[in-house]
Structure 1
Amino acid sequence: MRVILHDPDQNRAAGLITELKRHGITVDVLPKTAILNGASGLDENVARLLPVVLGFATGENAETTTRQLRKSGSTNPLLILQTDIPPNDLARILDAGADDVVSSTLNYDEIAARLRALTRRQFGLRTQEVQAGDLTVYLDGRHPNLAGKPIKISASEQTILRILALNLGKVVHRDVLFDALYALADYQPYAKALDVHICKLRRKIETLSGKGSSGIQTYTGQGYALNAP
């Protein structure tokens, strides 16, 4: 999973970057203005794959920024971090368009779980795993496995496989996959970088299966779909 973060609390931001990585979550830090201006331009299919996490200092007006983000057209899942929020203010932040608010002492395992829950809701899932034949894809950062045997894959490959699993049996446009990996980031590789990741991912699954099939099918001019390998 990849999330977009803005948090003026540098210690909290640094902790999120380090600790969420343990859960298979990549954190891209962006200025608030970049998020407000850029998130609204994302394709809706991309937006629901990119949760936005906004951190605020105690007493800062999170409601206004939340309204600004939603008014701009952003449909990204939105998690607000702000300690010691009075109950009435918390209710207003949720009503302004936030999907979740964490106002207690920061717990990284909890944050990771809440981010996974936000994504599950977007796709109507209730568990942290998707089964495609003998292939099990976990949504909580664990490596996938084939018939009980783990497949070690890179963070980018994990993101791609996770998105395909969330859309099991459906074609995912290559632009959606590319933007889920790189949208709003400073670094924008060539489009062929996606093909390289797909190729490596297929090879790893095929090698373990011994059947010459990864379950990842190419639809020329459209994208990719995951079926049972």
Structure 2
Amino acid sequence: MVQRHSRNPWRLLLVEDDRELAGMLCGLLRDEGYAVDVATDGQRCLHLGLSRQYDVLVVDRHLPPLDGLDLLGRLRSRAVRTPVLLLTAMGTVHDRADGLDAGTDDYLVKPFELDELSARLRALCRRALDVNDVLRIGSGHLHVGRREVGLASDEQIALAAREFALLWALASRPEAVPSRAELRRLVFQEAPAASIVDTYGYCLRRKLGRRVVRTVRGPGYRLGAL
């Protein structure tokens, strides 16, 4: 089981004026292990965003009385750098550009798949990690700032950036079996072929042992043992 030690669990602010959708997403996110606060309007979000510390914000674009983009502009102008995932029904290139210019870190168009929401939030949380954060994996651990893996034998093994990112993606959901295509999107966004996952899986096995990354016939990979 993966544990986050320096700040546990992830703190998330969900801003959604559709109360039914907000309730459904809140339940899902809490099941995923997040500590969730909910705001149903932009003014409440602004207050919470300025007065509390969060790891990630999930913000609907159309909010009363503040529009989501206006809200983001106010938060960024007051030095709030928390990663933001913007939810919107507006998915044109122009709309996405407006969101990015306003300070959002990622963009998800409604309707969306819950698995994609979860994956995008994990990616944003990884970016927000403090360099001193440590993830425990059984008797081993991952050290974020040094991109090192600590083994039960007390040996410390440094990994390349992509090797570490792939191991982290698997460690974030140790019971899941992500496909090669999903891992390529999460870790190697610009790579055209899912086979790049096989290459870096081989690199991890070579450095950390054959059991660290398990190949699941058909679906893809899962975390093994350090």
> TM-score, length-normalised on structure 2?
0.49
Instruction: Give the structure, 1 or 2, with the largest relative contact order (CA under 8 Å, sep 6 or more).
Output: 1
> TM-score, length-normalised on structure 1?
0.48
